[in-house]
Each structure stands twice: as C-alpha cells, then as structure tokens.
Amino acid sequence: MQNISEIAFEEISGRDDNLGLITLTRQSVLNALNQKMINAIDQQLKEWENANHIKAVVIRAAPGRAFCAGGDVRSVYDRKLAQDPKIADFFRDEYGMNRRIHHYPKPYIALMDGITMGGGVGISVHASHRVATDRLLFAMPETGIGFYPDVGTTYVLSRLPHKLGYYLGLTGARISLADCAAAGLIDYSVKAEQFPELIYALADTPFENDERATVTGVIKKFSVPMDHSTLLPKFKIIEECFSEKTIEKMIQALEHHDAWGKEVAAILKTKSPTSLKVTLQALQTAETLEFNEAIQMEFRVTNHFLENSDFFEGIRAVLVDKDQTPHWKPNKLKEVTTAVVKKYFDPLEVELV
C-alpha cells in the first residue's frame, strides 16, 4: 500500500476478510483534494477491488473541521497562470475516481464529519452507504466561483425530489445533516466518537451473501435519530420555483414568494450568470443520462470552463485575493445566450476515457 503525507491507507483485520480504510489527513486545508491524493485514492481502490481479502472500503477524515472541503482548485488556478497545457488532467483523474466509486463492486462506506463540499461530495455521495454526523455541512458552492456542480453530481442532484438538486446546485446553499437526510443525500447518522467502533464492527462482522445488507445492519446498530429538517417546510416553494425552465423565470417566481424566496432570488443574482445557465442546462440534460454519460458531459463542460474567464475570476475573488468581489463576464443573464450555453456541451478532441 502507498501512503502519502495527505492520506493514509490501512487494512483492518477481521474474523474473515479485511476492511480497506482510507483516512484523509490534509486537515490544514480542510482535506482539499490535490491530484496526488486523487490518484492515490483511485489506485488504492483499484487494488482493493481486485483483492479477495478486502470485503469493503471505508473512507473518513482525521478529526478536524472537515471531511473534505472540495478539490484543490487553487492549484488549478496556479496551473492556469503557468499556462499548463495539461490543466484538464486534474479533472480527468478526479472524474475517473468518481466513476470508480459510483460503480464500486464492493461496499464503499463514507463517514462524513464536518464540511463536505465539492470534491468532498464526489468521494462520498456516490458511496453505497453514506453516513454522517450532526456536524455535517453540505454544499455544492461552485456557481459562486464561476463554475458548476461537477464530480458526478449533475447525475445525483438532477434526481433529488422536489427540485432540491436544482436549488442546491444553483444557489450553493449550505445544508445540515437533517436537511441532507430529507433530501436523500445521506442514509444514516452516527456520532463521530462512534466511528472507530463502527469501523471495527464492520471489519469483524462476517459478510453474508448480501454484503450490502450486512453492512446496513451493522451501521443501523450505531445509527442515532436526526433533528427535523429546517428546509423541509420550503420544499413546496423550491419545487414550484425551480421547476421553471429558465433562470430568469426561477428568479421571478422566487421574488413573488415570501421573504425567504426573495432572499434566494437575491443569492442567485450574485452568482456567475454563465455558471447559472450552464448549471441549469447540465442538470436538465443529466436527468435522462446514465452516470457514465453524465460524467462524460461534465468533462466536456469543465474543459470549456477552463477556456473562459469566470472560473478563474471566481477562484481569484474567493480564494486568492479574497476580496469576495468577482467580476463576471458577462455580468448579465440576458447576455448569456442559448448559443453561448450550447458551446459548453460541445464534444472534445480527447474525451474522458
């Protein structure tokens, strides 16, 4: 097994077979995934997939504020400044890892404690078992940095009930454990201090023919009740407004509702107009795609974002200069035409393999 400074891999011995354990240890930057970490996870998952003595994989983070706050887009910004011709390889590798997790043939259990955003969602939401603590803070905040929800989440968000995925993907709203459970984004809640015991229980439990059901049974022994979702009372408004077919109509519908609706409309107006329209098109398209098709679409969209300015301007404003004042180009929704949006979905010379 390969261990690097930002991540640790272990095999936890059980009574029959072993458990593969991934621990993110880059807490100084909230476990932001760099390319080295992505490649290490993907390679280890590939090895464990083919190892007869490994029955399941668990991913967690070392104690701290975050499970994983996202991909290391600051490094992508630096590569853009250096005019790196292989800048898209970061995303090619990340999406390949996301695809492996989605299709993983063995139980893959994500233990989320704290901030889980962007790339962190990509290594957890596709798990066979999604477990979180009451400190979970979930978001896909990409439209705020001139990007869009990627890492396979166009597939996930487009399938959530009540248009919740459209709301989350377009606004970048941060939601709690209870909200995630109500939306169908997590399966179980377990206390953080119980994670070590849960891991050893999984390792020590002989897996029956239905290994996923066995894992579910173990997790349920540790699961605790969750609070009521504060977002639940808004589901009706969300479904009504985010069922509109254009961003302009969504904003108009929200502004005709209560103070909360007006607040959401105001938030949308701060996002990159290009990001909003491309995100909406990506979600609408992903509704009818298989996972592999959706992540292929995302790789196309991402490559086109890398050719334009809003993504890098968003990173500059939020993560580099931190002035929180991005200058979007164009800065008006009406200037982002259907033809402009369509170009983001054009095929590439070299597609995602």
Active site (catalytic) residues: 71, 119, 142, 150
Where in the chain does DSSP place strands (E)? 7-12, 18-24, 54-61, 66-68, 108-112, 115-117, 129-132, 137-139, 188-189
Alpha-carbon span 21 to 17, nearest angstrom: 13
Cis peptide, bond prior to residue 63, ω within 30 of zero: no
Helix, strand, coil percent content, the chain, rounded in steps of 5: 50, 15, 35
Could you tell me which residues come within 8 angstroms of residue 70 by beta carbon, excluding any fewer than 6 positions away? 30, 32, 33, 117, 118, 119, 120
**DSSP string spanning 38-57?**
HHHHHHHHHHHHT-TTEEEE
| Secondary structure element (H or E) that encloses residue 113, with its range | none
φ, ψ at 137 (rounded to 5°): -130, 105
The CA distance from 85 to 29, in Å, is 26
Q: Phi/psi at 191 (nearest 5 deg)?
A: -70, 140
Which residue from 95, 101, 174, 108 is spatially nearest to 141, judged by alpha carbons?
174
Question: For residue 268, what are the contacts with CB-CB under 8 A and spacing of at least 6?
Answer: 170, 171, 247, 250, 251, 254, 276
- Other C-beta atoms closer than 10 Å to the C-beta of 42 total 18
